[in-house]
Amino acid sequence: MTAGSPPSGAPQDAVEVHETGGATADRGGVANSGVMGDVRVEHHHHPAAVPVWPVVVGQPPPLASAFQPREDVREQVLAARLRGEDVVLAQDEADRRGAMGTRVLAGGGGVGKSQLAAWFAQEAVTAGTDLVVWVNAAGPEQVITSYARAAARVGVPGADGANPDADAAALVDWLHTTDRTWLVVLDDVTDPAHLAGRWPPHRPGGWTLATTRLREAALTGSGRQRVDVDTFTPAESVRYLHDRLTDAGGGHLLDDHAADLAAALGHLPLALSHAAAYMLDEDEACGEYLARYTAGDQRLDDLMPAGVDPDAYGRPVAVALLLALEAADTRPPAGLARPALALAAFCDPDGHPDAFWATEAVTDYLTAHMGNPITPEQARKALRTLHRYGLVTHTPGDGPRAVRIHALTARAARETITTDSATTARTAADALLQLWPDNDYNATDLLVALLANTTTLTTIAGDRLWRPGAHPLLNKAGISLLRAQLHDPAVTYWHHTIAQAQRILGEEHPETLSTRANLASAYRQVGRTSEAINLTAQVVADSVRLLGEDHQETLIAQTNLAVSYWYTGRTSEAIELLEHVVAHRTRLLGEDHPDVLITRVNLASSYWQAGRTSEAIAIEEQVVADSVRLLGEDHPNTLTARGNLAVSYWQVGRMSEAIALTERLVADSVRLLGDRHPSTLAATKVLKTWRAEG
């Protein structure tokens, strides 16, 4: 070892030591080997970089082409922000109290949550906000990394880059105390647990904006409020198509079908973006694209290919819509979300009853997928999981429309999820049938919802509900349209059903004959009597030839033909047919069968028309007594029988009996059907007339 003079400026008693031999130290210690005198050690720290304000960390996505400002949603967020920053606008720092808090933009895939958040981020940058941090919040690592970068950029004390987790925590601490203005955007929160201890604080000068598909309660605690982001409004959708196509030189692609195309795409921003880009690439007008989209013979991947991503969404449409499904499928009962979503995808986007998920059909279907028994409670839990992950919307208070699914999400699920589609379709049909009300003579909200779901299901399922035979739901829905006096929809429904039956089952199949008979009934109810008679006569002849005289479908067809004869005054032919049907049905079914009662009512009407009054009244009185005994006081057939008897009494001068029966009929109709139902109104009108005349 040798010692020399100390360097200039060093204390005079210091010794410079060199060539001392080997020595080691760790953990930041100092080693020496045989130093004589004092040792001076100097630590050199690199000063933190002085931040240049404002600071932007992360990369907000660029605003989409023809960005729609979404005034309604923006105003909700801005109003909340203004409520929290009123005193800031007063420019009185001492009186700044209260905080805007965190806003969570919640919604399913493709509705434009990130685009709205990007707009707020750009507005913050333009306004000179000191710190704007854009965080991909899909996982904890991304959150920590982004926070650590922000801590380094703004010179947070103690953030030295050695430990990202510690630096992230230091940023959160700094946000609690800084007077700087800031905005932190947490984009695509996939799990609230990722943000435990990492939610930025509520501060007068700073606020947090989060986006998520989740509807977790944990996201709306601790002062965080949720702002739901829905699809575009119809006006926004059309404006988007106009602006996007026009700005790109494709104004000639706009036509009268723009609004229809927007509606077919469910006003989903992501889908509209891809569709517009495709139309521009292919020089295809709105009507042409709409025709291909609604034809249903092309997949979403073809109509909205991954390569067409003009606004940098980063994912194909189908993938974006179902992004949360994998995570949802891991929630207990694990593996249930996927088959549940596949089933929901066959339902009406405008909603189906949540009781659907408690039906035996649904629990059996889920049990088959899981390999172990699934209870209604577990099925509902799967439904709630789909809701929490933004794949469906479950609002129990909406009654028959409690469960909704976006049409594009449903289509993506049908094209992506591997299931036996025929089994899934028939399960949906079974479940709807199990929910069908007995009192389908009244167009209640439930019946309307079930009919809408049947229409959606039959459209999606195609031939699947016809093999191996026609599903009973097909007949039930059409009959309900007739019973609820929805005559024009019934005609349309049976026309469509006949076309399917003839194509799939053949002209002479019994179910084809049945659908033709039901169309004839619809014709009669809308006043197309001659068409009803011609069609029913053909059905009778075919039924006798193919099924035989005693077959139930033959007797139904003969009854329908007799009723049509009655409406056109062909009374003798009606009586002859009805007497034949009464005899056959009584022999085959017995006196007390409801079909026998109905045929006797029709026979009584024909007797009246022929002037055989006493025979008609005798039959009607017996039908009323039998209906009460067999069907109950409140059954619609009982009410009809009482109404017929009241009219007969009035016509033969038994006025007091007629009025008494009609008073009871009106009271029962109001109680069972409501005071605005057509049957109630008709009975009330008759009663008023008879009281005035009697």
pLDDT in tens, 235-276: 999 999 999 999 989 999 999 999 999 998 888 888 888 888
Which residues make beta-bridge pairs with 394? 403
Query: What pLDDT score does 108 carry?
Result: 56
Query: What pLDDT score does 543 carry?
Result: 94
Cβ neighbours of residue 356 closer than 8 Å, sequence gap 6 or more: 347, 362, 403, 431, 432, 435
What φ, ψ does residue 56 adopt, rounded to 5°?
-120, 125
Residue 131 has pLDDT above 70, yes or no: yes
- Reduce the DSSP state of residue 132 to 3 states and report it: strand
Query: What pLDDT score does 27 carry?
Result: 34
H-type alpha helices, 348-471: 360-370, 376-388, 407-416, 421-435, 445-461
The structure's pTM equals 0.63
Residue 685 has pLDDT above 90, yes or no: yes
Residue 44 has pLDDT above 90, yes or no: no
In the chain, % of residues over pLDDT 90: 49
Residue 34 has pLDDT above 60, yes or no: no
- Give the residue among 395, 392, 326, 333 at the shortest CA–CA distance from 366: 333
Query: What pLDDT score does 408 carry?
Result: 78
Q: Could you tell me the pLDDT band of residue 516, with boundaries at 50, 70 and 90?
A: very high
Cα 347 to Cα 362, 375, 399, 465, 500, distances in angstroms: 13, 21, 15, 14, 20
Residue 35 has pLDDT above 80, yes or no: no
Helix (H) or strand (E) holding 91: none
Average pLDDT on 206-229 reads 74
Q: Could you tell me the pLDDT band of residue 54, with boundaries at 50, 70 and 90?
A: very high
Which of 346-350, 372-376, 466-470, 675-679 has the least mean pLDDT?
A: 675-679
**pLDDT for 303-352, tens place per residue?**
777 655 555 444 556 666 676 788 789 888 899 999 999 999 999 988 99
Please count the other Cβ atoms lying within 10 Å of the Cβ belonging to residue 550: 11
Query: What pLDDT score does 88 carry?
Result: 17
Dihedral angle, C-alpha 284, 290, 294, 298, nearest 10 °: 20
Query: What pLDDT score does 440 carry?
Result: 83
Cβ-based burial of 121 (10 A; exposed 0-12, middle 13-18, buried ≥19): buried
Residue 85 has pLDDT above 90, yes or no: no
Q: Could you tell me the pLDDT band of residue 129, with boundaries at 50, 70 and 90?
A: very high
Which residues make beta-bridge pairs with 136? 187
By the 8 A CB rule, do 7 and 16 touch? yes
Whole-angstrom Cα distance, residue 255 to residue 512? 41
Query: What pLDDT score does 23 carry?
Result: 44
Average pLDDT on 471-487 reads 91
Query: What pLDDT score does 391 carry?
Result: 84
Angle between helix 510-525 and 472-483 (nearest 10): 10
Query: What pLDDT score does 279 carry?
Result: 87
Average pLDDT on 484-493 reads 88
Average pLDDT on 116-130 reads 90
- Give the residue among 509, 421, 427, 518 at the shortest CA–CA distance from 469: 509
Mean pLDDT estimate for the chain: 83
In the chain, % of residues over pLDDT 70: 84
Whole-angstrom Cα distance, residue 430 to residue 426? 6
Which of 208-217, 411-420, 439-448 has the least mean pLDDT?
A: 208-217
**pLDDT for 280-295, tens place per residue?**
888 999 999 899 888 8
**pLDDT for 143-199, tens place per residue?**
998 999 999 999 999 898 889 999 999 999 999 999 999 999 988 887 888 888 898
Query: What pLDDT score does 113 carry?
Result: 81
Residue with tokens 């069907």: 631
By the 8 A CB rule, do 596 and 552 touch? no
Q: Which has the higher per-residue pLDDT, 558 or 110?
A: 558
Q: Could you tell me the pLDDT band of residue 427, with boundaries at 50, 70 and 90?
A: very high
Backbone conformation region of residue 611, classed left if phi is above 0, alpha if psi is from -120 to 50, else beta: left
Cα 467 to Cα 342, 362, 500, 501, 503, distances in angstroms: 20, 20, 12, 11, 12
Cβ-based burial of 561 (10 A; exposed 0-12, middle 13-18, buried ≥19): buried
